[in-house]
Structure 1
């Protein structure tokens, strides 16, 4: 079905997609206009495949249903969505590459708060799994300023709570476990048996704060099920539409419960938290906060220990407003170090 529409002039994607208030996205045709602009910027949508999911924030469920309907009307052959639409940004990137799709739509406003009066976001990742480059987002924006109609199919609500597959019109919808494929990838990169054995030893307790955002199911599957850590190792593990009233920004102020635990007398030796869509983190040791810049430098310096990086890194990169700690590591290792502008698209 073709629906006439009027273009909005404020749909220029930022450093990581389009972020606006929920009420802005709830304006007539606002979401549909932007999604159609994404589709129109692709080389073709006929027989294309799309990965779809988000961080679980308010309006995610409505948007996912709309996007599936639009994908069918735009002649996509398949949409790969995760159970209940819960999908972290890194896991989405992996699914795009694994299933060789034509891109992916991730519904997230990252660390911005969620709820009816809070924020929503939508971003497009290209077939390489990475964020859309400027030439792509520029094309999307131009399309959004000129759009006069969008395509959408009419069918009933799709139940995404059960893993499996179904056919909607001429299109297949595949519903996957949100964590399974991503953890399988991680197990090829890191020695899970060694880590599991280490965490079983006395004095090696850990804590992870998912902040009621997207990483809860991943963290439970990894720490409590795969590594055998005690139940409760993952804090705030259930994704909630308003993030439990919190701010899913992993820092000392917003992950206060985790910080208090790590700085307590008998606290765990390691703690971590992640943001709304799971692509940023905070690392803590017992009685110590590890800055993100130092974390990157430490990872780079020791990457060759992990099986997936046994041959070493080819290079490292950091955003401009961060410390030069990793630069020193790169110099020591004799590898390239790149400084980029702020923003995930770089």
Structure 2
């Protein structure tokens, strides 16, 4: 029987940068998950005349509470007369793979259970986001409608709780019968489906030959990527079994923070520094983010990784067949990609943070590759950032370097700096701060910028910084015309060579996270290659902290994470 359950709205069910993320205990409140899922279904199916023809994809990173949530979603989709669900085997499917499946199966959309790089476990975070028919995260218009619905919801639908669970551990088709009809549940293993997509992009024969002569170290961080790494990197490309580490997906990610950066993937960095490896990589919980390391732990910033891949896209068969159209980056991402665009004569679009802003550019065929400084890189093969795609792209670049050039990660990056200059770059994260204090800090700085009250010249560590321009970043989508305002505060110095940026993050589950971004461009080849990162970043960081009074507002003297 279909049950109609009376309910009341919960406060704060507003999706952030990529979905709704809250502590597990919040989602475990009776009706909390149900309210949000019903809001998604009400909005996404509002204009659908024949719900029995609708296909939705459901999966996630396997974090704690996923198993219960999937059964709830199956029950609610059936009660809302959805005709067909494509559900991940054991509920585990990477975010890039879900995007690929939505597109391959022409699904109406997908519900992804993930809090991405946030910690998991009973005391960790859980998350839900909705992706549209193009495979990408729902745009602001849709998430705003979902939030509005969540504030006025009065009831949700589900099947009688006595209904037995669907066995998502058994691949194949299952039929859920109910008083309104029936729903097909197709439990699939996405690894082979995703592998077939990658084989249409990369030269796997070339990669096998290259990998056979190299030592790789790939860290899945006990997230969703473990099965993909074992199947594709080890079995398909022939890397040794010990190249794949932490590849068992765990509900609490083994007690670790599944965020691929120098802080939370420090074990991998140490192994790379002290071991005989040529390339190292790490992924976050749901597999859309990546970190690239070279021999001896040489760290490639996400901004540089994006630019190097953009420079070398035509080394990948997919982009030789279909010409490179353009590039896109989020506003806080360094302008390294802009330098590539200048030399190639292609446009580089600057968007707000959030992969959803790349979606219309990709759909319109305006860009081929896009990325964010938060360890996200992807292309137009799907509509999500894709960690494993980035690793295979790097292997492809390395494998096709001319014989007279070294194919090491470090040499490729240094040659890029020699040609395009270098954007010295750093991000300071101040996590779980008091939300009201952070909002006051941002509004105070925004008011100074609007009133042109910033000092014109600032001295720091013997360097003079002249304020050229300061603004609150806004964006108008060139395809849809949709506008987004208040997307971050930007202050530029010395002819635009230097800039600092401030944002309140939309990915935290409690409190507020302030992100401070620092960038200094260096076009002199010798200084770009041999300069000291700290010498470029330290004085600008002091200027940013002085202008924002961040320490005074937040009470934090040091950032939680530096990347």
TM-score class, shorter-chain normalisation, is: over 0.9
Q: Does 1:196 align with 2:204?
A: no
Match of 1:166 in 2: 174
Distance 1:177 1:315 in 2: 33
5 Å matches for 1:77-226? 77-154=83-160, 155-169=163-177, 170-201=182-213, 204-226=214-236
5 Å matches for 1:1-346? 1-42=3-44, 43-44=47-48, 46-47=51-52, 48-154=54-160, 155-169=163-177, 170-201=182-213, 204-264=214-274, 266-287=275-296, 288-310=298-320, 311-346=322-357
Please report how far the alpha carbon of residue 117 of structure 1 lies from its aligned counterpart in structure 2 after TM superposition: 1.2
Aligned length: 343
Of 165-174 and 45-54, more deviation after overlay is shown by 45-54
Distance 1:244 1:281 in 2: 19
Any stretches of 5+ residues in structure 1 without a counterpart?
none
Give 1 or 2 for the bigger CA radius of gyration: 2
Query: Secondary structure at the residue paired with 2:185?
Result: strand
1:208-256 CA distances to partner (integer Å, 9 max, x unpaired)? 0000001111111111110111112111001000000000000111112
Distance 2:283 2:28 in 1: 28
Distance 1:19 1:338 in 2: 28
Query: Secondary structure at the residue paired with 1:114?
Result: coil
- Measured on the aligned residues, the alpha-carbon RMSD in Å equals 1.0
Distance 1:325 1:18 in 2: 31
1:258-285 CA distances to partner (integer Å, 9 max, x unpaired)? 1112111x42100100111111110001
Of 179-188 and 249-258, more deviation after overlay is shown by 249-258
> Is the Cα contact below 8 Å between 2:166 and 2:174 reproduced in 1?
no
Q: Which is bigger in relative contact order (C-alpha 8 A, separation at least 6)?
A: 1
Please report how far the alpha carbon of residue 307 of structure 1 lies from its aligned counterpart in structure 2 after TM superposition: 1.0
> Is the Cα contact below 8 Å between 1:82 and 1:175 reproduced in 2?
yes
Give me the TM-score of the superposition, normalised by structure 1: 0.97
Structure 1 segments (4+ residues) deviating >6 Å:
none
> Is the Cα contact below 8 Å between 1:178 and 1:218 reproduced in 2?
no
Distance 1:161 1:193 in 2: 33
Query: Secondary structure at the residue paired with 1:263?
Result: helix
Any stretches of 5+ residues in structure 2 without a counterpart?
358-563
1:195-217 CA distances to partner (integer Å, 9 max, x unpaired)? 0111112xx11110000001111
Query: Secondary structure at the residue paired with 1:37?
Result: helix
Of 329-338 and 208-217, more deviation after overlay is shown by 329-338
> Is the Cα contact below 8 Å between 2:314 and 2:324 reproduced in 1?
yes
Query: Secondary structure at the residue paired with 2:249?
Result: coil
Distance 1:344 1:8 in 2: 27
